[in-house]
Structure 1
Amino acid sequence: MNKINTPIQILQSIIPSKTLEERLAQDYNFEEKARKFSAIDLLHFYLEAGVKRWTGYREGSETLVEQGDFESLNHSTISKKAQEVPYEFFRDLFQELLQRLTTSQKKKFLKDYSLFAIDSTTITFRHQTRSWAKYRKHLYAIKLHTEFNIDQKMPTHVFDTTGKDSDIMMAPLIFLHKDFPAIRVADRAYGAKDLLDQLSSEEKPFVIRLKAGIKHDVQSHNEFDFNEEWSVVADYNAFLGAKNTQTTYTYRIVTVPSETGEPIYLATNVMKLKAEKISEVYKMRWEIELFFRWIKQNLDIPNPFGMSKNKVLSQVYATLIAYLLLRSTFNETQPKWSTYTKLSFKEFTRKFIKSTLPIEVGIEIGLLLKNWRSVSNSTGKI
C-alpha cells in the first residue's frame, strides 16, 4: 500500500487536480503559463507547509527538492506564483470542502441540539508593507470570524476581515444563518443585549457569556441541584440592562465561578437543560480555542511567507484546508481503528506527516480515500 503522508493526497481523492485546474481557468480567468511550478503545485506547497511548519518559501523549496518532488526549485518561483494565483481560489475551495466534509451527522453531545462555538482569532503582523491590514500603530492584522462545530471539532464557516472589524459587528453574519436546532456558544465579546434579543426573536438558541457590568432585573429563580463539580451558584430569569434600555425578552442566567472566583454570567434562552448542563456547554467552547491554537502554530505567526494581501490570505486559507482534510480523515477513520490503537488528533497528525501511523490506521485511511474517490467520480460529491 502506498504511503499517504500529504494533505494533497487526501484532497485529490475528493477533487482531482484536473478539476481544480479547469476551475481556475473558468471561474478565475487564470491562465497557467508556468511549466515548472503550477498553481496546483502552489496548493500542494501551501498544504505541506501548513502541516510541516515550514518557515518560508526558501525552506519549502529546498525541502521539495530534497523529497524529490522537483529536480530544482527556486524560492522566488514560488513567491511569484503566490502573487499570481488569486486567494479567492483557496478561500472558495475551503468553503466547498466545508460543505462536502461536514454534512454527515455525527454523534451529538446533546440529543436535541448540535453545538456550535462562535469566536474570532486575530492574526497580527509587524511589517509596514502589510499596510492593507492596518490595525494599530506599527501593527497589522487580519481576523478570522469562525463558526465551529464542537461535536465534530470542525469549522463550518470562516469569514476574514481586517483586525479593525469587531466581533459584534460580524456577529449577525455568523449567528443567524443556521436553521436547524443548534445551540450557539460564545464568550463575552458577543454578550450585547441587541444581539441576544435578535437571536431570541428568530428563535435561535444560545449560551453566551455576558459582558461585565450589564444590569440584571431578576424576575424569578429556578431550582438547581448543587454539585461541586459544576459549581453552579445561581439560576434565575431576568431582563438585562437599565430600566430604560432593557432587553425585550427575559433571559435565563446561569452563574458559575471563574478560576479566580469571580462570577461568570451565562445568558441563555434554552430552558429545558439543567443548569449544570448549561455550564458544561459553555466549557465546551474551549474546542474552538484549540482549533485557533493549531492554526496559529502551523501558520508560524507572526511571520507569514508573503507581504501582500493575496499571499497572506492564500496561505491562511490553505492552512485551514490542511486542518480540514486531516481532521476529516481522523474523524472518519478513528472509530474503526480506535479498538487497536489510541491516538489523539495531535499524535495522528504528527505520525501522518512522518509516515509512521500504525498499519491498521493506514489501511483505514486508504479505504476511506478509495471510497471518497469512487463517490466523487460517480456523483461529483462525497
Structure 2
Amino acid sequence: MKQPKPTKHSNVVFNQLCKLIPVGMVRNLASEYGVDKKCRTFSVWSHVVSLLYAQLTHSIGLNDVCDALRHHSAKLFAIRGATPPSRNGLSNANKTRDADMMEALFWKMLTHLQHQFPQFGPAGSYSKLPRRFKKAIYSIDSSTITLVANCMDWAKHRRRKAAAKLHLRLNLQTFLPSFAVIEEGSHHDSSRMMALCAGLQAGEIAVFDKAYVHFKHLFSLTEMGVFWVTRAKDNMCYHVCKKRQVSGSIVRDDEITLKTKSSKEHYPQRMRRVVARVEVNGKFVEMVFITNNMDWAASSICDLYQSRWAIEVFFKQIKQTLQICDFLGHSKQAIRWQLWSALLLYLLLRFQAWSSDWPHSFARLFTMIRGLVWDRFDLSDTLRFYGTAGDRWRMCIQPQTAYLPGFAP
C-alpha cells in the first residue's frame, strides 16, 4: 500500500505559521499602543515576524536575523508584505517600541484560539493532573532568566549577576499560561502573589510553592472563595485544634490556627496541615502541606501539590527549545519583546500540533519545523504524516543448508 506523504503548498512553512495570526490584529494593537508611529520602512508586522523567525531559528544576534531574512526577502514579502530589517532598524525597534503591545498580542491570540477552537486547550492537559477535580487548577511559580550583568544595569539583583524573572500562572487543564509578569529578577516571588491570583474565580484552585506564602495574601484568597494548596515554612508556629485519622502515606492530618500575633491577625481562621510521605526522585521524603480546604481527602491534597510540578515541565520546554538564552538587545524593552515573542511562538506551535494530531514531544516538533522554515510543504500534512513512512521492501533469502557426505541434511 502506498504510504501517504505531505503535499506541496504555495506558501513556505514559516508563512503558514505566521498566518495563524488573524489579519489586522497586529495593526490594531500597534495603533492602540502607539507603536505604529514613526515606522515608515520597518512596520510593526515586519517586527513581529522577524522576532518569530529569530525564535524559530535560534538566531544568536542581529546580523543573524537580518542577513537570513534579506536572503529570503521574496518569500518574506509573501507573509503579508513583511520586509527584512536592517541591523540598526531592528535594534532601534526593540529598544524604543513599547513591548506591552507584544504582551497584548500574546493574550489576544490566546483568547482568539480558545474562542474559535474550544477543544484546543483541554487537549493539552498535564498527564499527571488529578482528574477528580472539576474546577480549574492553576500552578503558580517563577523562573529566572540569566542575563549579562556588565551591560544590563537595570536587571542587576546581586553583586555580579543580572537576571529577568518570569512569574507565571499556568492552567493545568490546558497547559497554557493564563497570566504572566516579566520583570527584574531582584523582586521576591511573594511580591507578585496577588497580581498572579487576581483573576481567579470562587471554587478554583491555586497551587504554589512556599516562596509565595504570605498569610495576608492567603486570607484574601480564602475570602475570594479560592482554594489554595502550598507547603508550610519550617518556622511556622501553630496550635493544633483537631487531629484527624490518617492512613497509608499520610503521617498527620490536623486543623490548626496560627500562633504568633502578626500571623494570627493576617489569617484569623483555621487552616489544615497535612504531613505525608511523598516520593521524590525515587526516595520517600516527608512534606508538610497547608490548605484552606477542610473537605478534601489528605491524599488529594498531596496529589494537587505534586501536580504543581507541571509548571517546571513548562519552564523546561520553553528554556530548552526557544531562544531565551541569547538576546538581541540589552534594554528592558528588548528583553520583553523577545520573551513575549517566545511565548507567542510557543502558542502557535502548540496550536499547530493540536490541529495536526502531533503525537510526539514539543521539542521534536520545534526542531522539525525549524528545518522546514523555507520549504513549500503543507505544514499540517507534514506533521500528520510524520513517521508513517514504512521501510523499503527487502527480499529475505534463506541460505542453502550445507551438505556433507555421510551426514544427514
Q: Which residue of 2 aligns with 1:120?
A: 142
| Within-5 A mapping of 1:303-318 | 303-318=326-341
Q: Which residue of 2 aligns with 1:248?
A: 268
**1:46 to partner: Cα distance:** 1.2
Change (3 A) 1:236 1:323: same
Tell me how far apart the structure 2 counterparts of residues 22 and 249 of structure 1 sit (CA, whole Å). Answer: 48
Greater per-residue helix proportion: 1
SS of alignment partner, residue 19 of structure 2: helix
Change (3 A) 1:302 1:53: closer
> Which ranges of structure 2 fall in alignment gaps of 5 or more residues?
1-6, 77-82, 126-130, 386-409
Q: Which residue of 1 aligns with 2:369?
A: 352
**1:112 to partner: Cα distance:** 2.3
Q: Which residue of 2 aligns with 1:130?
A: 152
Which deviates further from its counterpart, 129-138 or 281-290?
A: 129-138
SS of alignment partner, residue 76 of structure 1: helix
SS of alignment partner, residue 336 of structure 2: helix
SS of alignment partner, residue 250 of structure 2: coil
SS of alignment partner, residue 326 of structure 2: coil
Change (3 A) 1:299 1:344: closer
> Which ranges of structure 1 fall in alignment gaps of 5 or more residues?
364-382
8 Å contact from structure 1 (residues 38, 81) kept in 2: no
Q: Which residue of 2 aligns with 1:76?
A: 88
Tell me how far apart the structure 2 counterparts of residues 115 and 236 of structure 1 sit (CA, whole Å). Answer: 24
Q: Which amino acid aligns with 1:281?
A: L
Tell me how far apart the structure 2 counterparts of residues 97 and 351 of structure 1 sit (CA, whole Å). Answer: 23
8 Å contact from structure 1 (residues 4, 352) kept in 2: no
SS of alignment partner, residue 98 of structure 1: helix
8 Å contact from structure 1 (residues 123, 143) kept in 2: yes
8 Å contact from structure 2 (residues 250, 298) kept in 1: yes
Q: Which amino acid aligns with 1:324?
A: L
SS of alignment partner, residue 315 of structure 1: helix
Query: How many residues align structurally?
Result: 351
Q: Which residue of 1 aligns with 2:405?
A: none
Q: Which residue of 2 aligns with 1:198?
A: 220
**1:290 to partner: Cα distance:** 1.8
Q: Which residue of 2 aligns with 1:375?
A: none
Q: Which amino acid aligns with 1:13?
A: L
Tell me how far apart the structure 1 counterparts of residues 208 and 146 of structure 2 sit (CA, whole Å). Answer: 22
- Determine which of 163, 168, 172 is the counterpart of 1:150: 172
Tell me how far apart the structure 1 counterparts of residues 263 and 202 of structure 2 sit (CA, whole Å). Answer: 31
Q: Which residue of 2 aligns with 1:106?
A: 122
Change (3 A) 1:53 1:222: farther
Q: Which residue of 2 aligns with 1:371?
A: none
Q: Which residue of 2 aligns with 1:283?
A: 306
Q: Which residue of 2 aligns with 1:88?
A: 100
**1:299 to partner: Cα distance:** 5.4
Q: Which residue of 1 aligns with 2:399?
A: none
Change (3 A) 1:54 1:182: same
8 Å contact from structure 1 (residues 193, 241) kept in 2: no
Q: Which residue of 2 aligns with 1:266?
A: 289
Tell me how far apart the structure 1 counterparts of residues 103 and 84 of structure 2 sit (CA, whole Å). Answer: 29
8 Å contact from structure 1 (residues 50, 298) kept in 2: no
Q: Which residue of 1 aligns with 2:37?
A: 31
Tell me how far apart the structure 2 counterparts of residues 113 and 26 of structure 1 sit (CA, whole Å). Answer: 35
Q: Which residue of 1 aligns with 2:68?
A: 63
- Determine which of 22, 27, 32 is the counterpart of 1:21: 27
Tell me how far apart the structure 2 counterparts of residues 79 and 147 of structure 1 sit (CA, whole Å). Answer: 31
Tell me how far apart the structure 1 counterparts of residues 262 and 154 of structure 2 sit (CA, whole Å). Answer: 41
**1:329 to partner: Cα distance:** 3.2
**1:64 to partner: Cα distance:** 2.6
| Within-5 A mapping of 1:365-376 | none
**1:345 to partner: Cα distance:** 2.7
SS of alignment partner, residue 337 of structure 2: helix
SS of alignment partner, residue 272 of structure 2: strand
Question: What are the superposed Cα offsets for residues 206-253 of structure 1, whole Å, 9 maximum, x if unpaired?
Answer: 111122211232222233441xxxx43322221234367433121122
TM-score normalized by the length of structure 1:
0.80
Question: What are the superposed Cα offsets for residues 35-76 of structure 1, whole Å, 9 maximum, x if unpaired?
Answer: 3x4321221121122233221222222333455546976533
SS of alignment partner, residue 24 of structure 1: helix
RMSD: 3.0
Q: Which residue of 2 aligns with 1:42?
A: 47
Identical-pair percentage? 23
TM-score normalized by the length of structure 2:
0.75
8 Å contact from structure 1 (residues 124, 142) kept in 2: yes
Change (3 A) 1:66 1:360: closer
**1:144 to partner: Cα distance:** 1.7
**1:4 to partner: Cα distance:** 6.6
Which deviates further from its counterpart, 318-327 or 263-272?
A: 263-272
Change (3 A) 1:55 1:298: farther
Q: Which amino acid aligns with 2:195?
A: L
